[in-house]
A and B are shown apart, each in its own frame.
Chain A
Amino acid sequence: MASRCPTLASERQQRVINKGCIGRFGRVEAKVGGPYGPATFFCACEQPQILKAPMPDKPLSFQDLILKLHDYWSRQGCVILQAYDVEVGAGTLNPATVLRALGPKPWKVAYVQPSRRPADGRYGENPNRLRQHHQYQVVLKPNPPNLQELYLGSLEAIGIDPRVHDIRFVEDDWENPTVGAWGLGWEVWCDGMEITQYTYFQQVGGLDVFPVAGELTIGLERLSLYLQNVDSVYDLRYNDEFTYGEVFLANEQQFSAFELEVADVDVFKRQFEDMERQVPRILEARGRKGEQLVLPAYDHVLKASHLFNIMDARGAIAVAERQSYIGRIRDLCKRCAEVYVAQQGGNA
């Protein structure tokens, strides 16, 4: 962290107390404690320098698109994580976003998350609807003042030139009632196509997110269709030797049939209830250091959420029941969020 803040107006304001900076954004008080040691102070006055990568000269394959994004966000200091190995409906639900967005500590992460939406299953017959797609997820907490520029830099890195493509930020407030989360932001359009959901998180698990986390979610298949200029997702070049269809078509066909027709609703209902009961039980237990086991508890919330999605896709959930299921998942999520924040030393 800088000892002097470059955006400050006067010498009086240049005072720096400990490692906290009284600058453009005020000092962030962080409480001490938590299993990961004391929370760090940070200063968001500094605009991160954008470390550009050269623009590619030919359309990227699906795989190269991911590698370019990893390269770019890695240069900006992000932790590059592997996908979370519990089924989720969206990259946001990965604990690296939902939980890490909470509490006072800074966090920078980028990862690809396979996201399962059983209701979108089309048996591999629809050229652009999938039951499992891949989201590229970036979270920067606190969001730097120039997050928009950082984001636009990532577009250039993957070959989208904003001088010939029409990039626009169109109001779209994000909300995920099952995790009690919402934020304000935009969907980013490239020539009329939504390529990114851009959100400043305001609440997660019903708790205020402060410092604010900026989240970028990119639908990789859709972006890749655009970059490669093909009409069917199955025709995408995964790399120079394989197509997306060769990699994922069987997966779409079989899982669509399973999730839309075969899945045994009664079994899933029972499993949902099992998961639901596990969460409080896990949270009551303690680890070796007396800590609450919030991370495993949250995994069970994710499993419950996925089971609900399958039951929903099977049409097994009446409209009246729907709200109640969502409410149950939200409550579980809220409990995890509260425990997590407490472990991090409280909200700033």
Chain B
Amino acid sequence: MPQLLLELFSEEIPARMQAQAARDLERMAREKLAAEGLLPEALTAFAGPRRLTLVAEGLAAAQAERHEERKGPRIGSPEQAIDGFLRSTGLSRDQLIERDGLYFAHLHKPGRQTAAIVAEMFDAIVRSFPWPKSMVSGVSKLRWVRPLQRILCVFDGEVVPFEVDGHVSSDLTEGHRFMGTGQAFHVRNFDDYADGLAKNFVVLDPEERKERIRDAARTLCFARNFELVEDEGLLDEVAGLTEWPTPVMGDMDPAFLELPPEVIRTSMRVHQRFFAVRDPLTGFLVPHFIAVANIEAADGGKLIATGNARVLTARLADARFFWQEDRKVRLEDRLQKLKGVTFHAKLGTMYERVERITALAGQLAAYTGASPEQVRKAARLCKSDLGTGMVGEFPELQGIMGGYYADKEGLAPEIIEAIRWHYKPQGPADDVPVQPVAATLALADKLDTLVRFFGIDEKPTGSRDPFALRRAALGVIRILLAGRVRLPLKIVASDDLISFFADRLKVLLREQGQRHDLVDAVFAQGDDDIVRIVSKVNALEGFLGTEDGKNLLAGYKRAVNILKAEEKKGALATGELNSSAPGEEGALTNAVGHMEVEVEKALEKDDYEAAMQALAALREPVDAFFDKVLVNSDVPTERENRLRLLMKVRDAMGRVADFSLVTG
């Protein structure tokens, strides 16, 4: 079956946009082909610095003929209506079919040639491509990510002729900007294409480029007994900056190793897109780097390595300047400067934020067991590094630099650690501060953010979460759990915010493969202590996994259903239970009474395992009760007492969790 090949050749596409562009191209082509009834056997898209490529295997040479029945007006409708239908279908009266009192038109659409469909399709795709940012160039109004240079489109070995804003399709492409022949070459199919590109020093597939970089970089390191500091994000980026990726190792002045390793690595990654290199035994950085060039230079990359090294030296000299200058001003003395830094238009300055965090952290210390003096000191200084030259240059080093500068000032290790760690955790994979002072400050930082933004009604909606409030809430939950901090969230959080925490907790538990419906069952009791909620959820999950648990839940649901039905008839009688009821009814009465006492004791001690055991003791009497006793007795006093008993079962169990919200 014929093959379709498209290449959109342009000036350099930003690396960060390439993967999505390939996905978009594939998706748009798939949808448009499917809409025309063309289903390729395989569809693949590749993106690189200068080209977006699509190859579709096994496309039919033409569309199948299509039949369509279109419903028309009623028989006997006004002539106008019938004429209109004839015009729209292009048929004559005698070609219409009469059925069920209506006219029908049978239309036969001959299948179109695939090439013609493809030409229209790519024209539409090029004109409506969803680049995150696009531009016009020269005197052309065609929007593309950077100037589009050429369109290659071949179907079944032949050029598919079309033109988009002056770009006429052809079977031509070209190779590497510097290493290729510099001549455009003709292509008949994908094999031809890939082969021609390889001969002209272009690796088409981004995965292959990444593989090449990784392998070569590791080999360069291994040869000198070093180890590559792997970085997936950086690898993706450099694979998007090169058509013929060629790692080279360069040297750095060892004197720079006195700088904090985070500074060196950030400078390498952010400014230069270098990989760092370390000693596999000590884990310390060594004075070398890996740069990924786009050419295989005749001199083996010597000039490239020395050139890159010089640029790194200039960057690190700058960093060293900041490292020296920043330490001349104490963090305490930088506080005033924060009065001029706006945190958010409605939420005042960074200085005001520091004051709030300090107060809140002091309050939280009572729950985390941290020293309130240390917490307040750390809180006062935690944002001071925002005014340093280093953080100005590398915003991602906020907190980390504050920690280093606090260290140089000789502050207590707990305070240093708290400043360094207070932004953490910054993502689901990031570490959580557990040392009490650090945990307290990290909590205060995030809770202030959450409380304030909820206060001005800046809550996340859908995919919009500009202030990363979801991440902050998840961070709070993880810190509370990791440190087993028993914090009643209500002391700071509104109801809105508490239910936001409940949602985040559900997401977290779901990701850990736990049952999130149990969160609702526990939250419904108005609990606001994350540690307790999770202990309950865990105990509950364990219990509901046992035979006793499953049966008791079934019994509970049965009781609740009966009560619901009765409640519809009118309010249920209240009053004392008959303590001397006979048989299973009496046994259940005793068991519930006993369980209530046990559950209360267990809850007081926060011993949820014991609470579950107390519940488990209820299973047999409940089963026996439903087995042997008819709730809906003819004797009204019996019936009322039995309903009261079921209420008591429901309410006593409700002390542990709202079982009606358990879905399983």
A residues at B contact (CB < 8 Å): 7, 9, 23-26, 28, 42, 44-45, 126-129, 142-145, 148, 162-171, 173, 183-186, 190-193, 200, 202, 210-212, 214, 226, 231, 318-320, 348
Contacts and interface: CB of A to CB of B under 8 A. Distances in A.
14 contacts: A9-B163, A28-B139, A44-B140, A162-B177, A165-B304, A166-B293, A169-B12, A171-B14, A171-B16, A184-B135, A191-B293, A214-B137, A231-B310, A320-B340
Contacts of A210: 136, 139, 141
A48 to B, nearest CB: 12
Contact of B147 (A127, A128, A167, A200): A200
Contact of A26 (B12, B141, B179, B307): B141
Interface string B171-190: 00000011100000000000
B412 interface: no
Nearest to A170: B241
Contacts of B299: 164
Given A25-B138, A144-B138, A162-B178, A192 B163 contact: no
Given A44-B139, A191-B304, A200-B137, 4 more contacts: A143-B137, A165-B297, A166-B291, A167-B178
Interface residues of B, number: 55
A42 B139 CA distance: 9
Interface in B285-336: 291, 293-295, 297-299, 303-304, 306-308, 310-314, 317-318, 321
B139 A211 contact: yes
A78 B11 CA distance: 23
A326 to B, nearest CB: 15
A201 to B, nearest CB: 9
A15 to B, nearest CB: 14
Contacts of A191: 293, 303-304, 306-308, 311
Given A143-B138, A212-B137, A26 B297 contact: no
Contacts of B452: none
A129 B322 CA distance: 14
B652 interface: no
Interface string B123-163: 00000000001111111110001110100000000000001
A254 to B, nearest CB: 21
B340 A183 contact: no
A186 B12 contact: yes
A166 B295 contact: yes
B168 interface: yes
A309 B106 CA distance: 75
B133 A184 contact: yes
B297 A192 contact: no
Residue among B12, B149, B163 with the highest chain A CB neighbour number at 10 A: B12
B307 A192 contact: yes
From B16, B178, B342, name the one whose CB has the most chain A CB atoms within 10 angstroms.
B178
B269 to A, nearest CB: 12
B138 A145 contact: yes
A169 B166 contact: no
Interface in B552-602: none
Contacts of A45: 166
B297 A163 contact: yes
A127 B140 CA distance: 44
B272 interface: yes
A44 B147 CA distance: 13
B165 interface: yes
Contacts of B178: 162-163, 167
B321 A126 contact: yes
A348 B140 CA distance: 12
B166 A7 contact: yes
B60 interface: no
A142 B293 contact: no
Contacts of A200: 135-137, 146-147
A26 B166 contact: yes
Contacts of B166: 7, 23-26, 45
A338 to B, nearest CB: 20
B15 interface: yes
Contacts of A9: 163, 168
A183 B135 contact: yes
Contact of A142 (B138, B294, B303, B314): B138
Interface of A is mostly: loop
Given A164-B303, A166-B293, A191-B303, A319 B340 contact: yes
A319 B16 contact: no
Contacts of B145: 184
Given A126-B321, A171-B15, A212-B137, A163 B298 contact: yes
Contacts of A143: 137-138, 147
Given A163-B295, A192-B308, A202 B141 contact: no
Nearest to A322: B340
Nearest to B170: A9
A45 B168 CA distance: 13
Contact of A168 (B16, B167, B294, B341): B294
Interface in B232-286: 241-242, 272-274
A184 B307 contact: no
Nearest to B292: A166
Interface in B47-80: 49
B304 A26 contact: no
A166 B297 contact: yes
A24 B179 CA distance: 28
A165 B307 contact: yes
Contacts of B140: 24-26, 44
B201 to A, nearest CB: 11
Contacts of A348: 139
Contacts of B274: 192
A191 B294 CA distance: 10
A145 B147 contact: yes
A278 B260 CA distance: 51
B167 A24 contact: yes
B340 A148 contact: no
Contact of B241 (A128, A168, A211, A320): A168
Given A192-B312, A319-B341, A166 B304 contact: yes
A45 B165 CA distance: 12
B606 to A, nearest CB: 48
Contact of B11 (A129, A169, A193): A169
Contacts of A185: 146
B135 A190 contact: no
Contact of B294 (A23, A25, A166): A166
Contacts of A25: 138-140, 165-166
B138 A192 contact: no
Given A126-B321, A170-B241, A148 B11 contact: yes
Contact of A192 (B49, B133, B272, B341): B272
A193 B340 contact: no
Nearest to B274: A192
Nearest to A202: B135
Given A192-B312, A320-B340, A165 B303 contact: yes
A220 to B, nearest CB: 16
Contacts of A42: 139
Contacts of B241: 168, 170
A193 B347 CA distance: 40
Contacts of B139: 25-26, 28, 42, 44, 142, 210-212, 348
B311 A192 contact: yes
Given A144-B138, A169-B11, A202-B136, A162 B341 contact: no
A210 B341 CA distance: 39
B180 to A, nearest CB: 11
A204 B335 CA distance: 39
A216 to B, nearest CB: 14
Contacts of A167: 178, 294
A231 B317 CA distance: 11
A318 B340 contact: yes
B586 to A, nearest CB: 77
B314 A128 contact: yes
